[in-house]
Amino acid sequence: MKIELKDKKVFFENQGLKKEIHPFWLRERVNGDNFVDKKTQQRLFDPTELKENIEIDNLSLSKEFLEITFNDGAYTKLAIKNILKEFSNINEVRYIEKIEWDSSLENLNNFEFKDNLFEGQEMYKALVNFYKYGFVIFKKVPTKNNFIVNFANSIGSIRRTNFGEFFDVKSKPNPNDLAYTSLPLAPHTDNPYRNPVPCIQMLHCIVNEVSGGFSTLVDGYTVTQKLKKDFPEYYKILTEIKVRFQFIDQNVVLEDWAEMIQLDENRNFKQVRFSPRLDFVPLIDKNKLELYYSARKKISELYNSEKYRLEFKLLPGDLLMMDNHRLLHGRTTYDANEGNRFLQGCYIDYDSTEGKLKHLKRKFNL
Ligand SMILES: [Fe+2]
């Protein structure tokens, strides 16, 4: 890709295709001290107040810079590399390639907690792994004084819900969710009834004295890719029908309608939702429902199959950070008479991890 000039016009050429760059697009990007705040990189002018018929009065191009004077008097020197950057709309985080995994995955993405973790290169590596695998486990994270809140807020900001800023996961009397019992929990995604669904869940093990209560993880990305390949009809219907997810307690009624496999604008994987205790398919045509029920049964079989399920024990201090739009999680049953099992959980959203990742990338020039 390169930049060229002709008759006071700027062109970019890409794979033999030459197109003019709109002068207003360039005018919006003037970057001298009078136009852009140095620290925040925010504009000091309002481009909607500029006159529309902006033209270029003077142009010069060197190897690294494009210098322009516009017909409203504004002058700027733009770095060519910054202009070229804008032609690919690549969001670096979205383009970290997902790695498919199943129960044979051996590397559990362990990173050890240390004091300067959040501003160090190790955190950058952990976040890249998070986007590759959908989870990462931090070891030896302090367990006192609800440290999970500090942890989450050191990456970004906690996403508070009606379960509170964070929640204690242990068996308790009169629970409003099965998570707060010692019953086994089949693989599920959290809170599919929220809009938006919390992006990332953190689970921090404080005490674990029981022999059962293993944590489980399943990669919804791997499983839905498999479904797409082997059962395309099932895949298709699960990407089409919006089902209602619902949570009800004494204080709130939460509902949202969404596909169990949600695709993005390019028909690629975006998000899975799976919580068969909370989903209600609308009353649609009988034949369609027939297919839907078979599809749900099949995906449930895959999600629950040993082939895809990682099973491991969280030890005190372990903090599991997982992508709730990609992974399913659960736990095996345990005997509450053996001792205590106490985890703390909270949610954060993608802006936290993306923002931190990009900040660290910039900081270490990676
Ligand atoms: Fe959960």
DSSP code string of 87-137? TS---TTTTSPPPP--TT-----EEE--TTGGGSHHHHHHHHHHHHHSEEE
188 Cα: distance to centroid of ligand 1 (angstroms): 6
* Neighbour count for residue 174 (Cβ, 10 Å): 5
pLDDT at position 320: 98
Tell me if 214 sits within 8 A of 313, measured CB to CB.
Answer: yes
Cα of 330 vs centre of ligand 1, distance in Å, is: 6
Query: Which pLDDT score is estimated for 206?
Result: 97
CA of 321 to the centre of ligand 1 (A): 12
Q: How far apart are CA 68 and CA 59, in angstroms?
A: 5
* Other C-beta atoms lying within 10 Å of the C-beta of residue 55: 12
CA of 262 to the centre of ligand 1 (A): 19
DSSP for 173-230 reads: SS-SSGGGSSS-EEEE-S-TTSSSPPSEEEEEEEEE--S---EEEEEHHHHHHHHHHH
pLDDT for 89: 64
Q: pLDDT value at position 91?
A: 65
Closest residue by Cα to residue 82 from 22, 23, 18, 30: 30
Q: Kindly report the pTM of this predicted structure.
A: 0.90
308 C-alpha vs ligand 1 centroid, how far in Å? 18
Residue type, 162: N
Cα-to-centroid distance, 98 and ligand 1 (Å): 22
State the distance from the centre of ligand 1 to the C-alpha of 185, rounded, in angstroms: 8
pLDDT digits (tens, 9 = 90+) for 13-30: 888 888 999 999 999 999
Task: Quote the ligand 1 centre to 312 CA distance (angstroms).
Answer: 16
Could you tell me the distance, in angstroms and rounded to a whole number, from the CA of residue 329 to the centre of ligand 1?
6
Low-confidence stretches of the chain (pLDDT < 70) are 88-91
CA 113 / ligand 1 centre spacing (Å)? 24
CA 147 to centroid of ligand 1, rounded, Å: 20
Under DSSP, the state recorded for 325 is T
| Gap from CA of 198 to ligand 1 centroid (Å) | 11
Q: What is the spatial distance between Cα 126 and Cα 357, in angstroms, rounded to a whole number? A: 9
Ligand 1 centroid, distance to 362 Cα (angstroms): 34
Q: Environment class of residue 81 by beta-carbon count within 10 Å: exposed (0-12), middle (13-18) or buried (19+)? A: exposed
Show the DSSP H helices in 247-328 as ranges: 286-304
pLDDT of 211 reads: 93
Ligand 1 centroid to Cα of residue 156, in Å, is 21
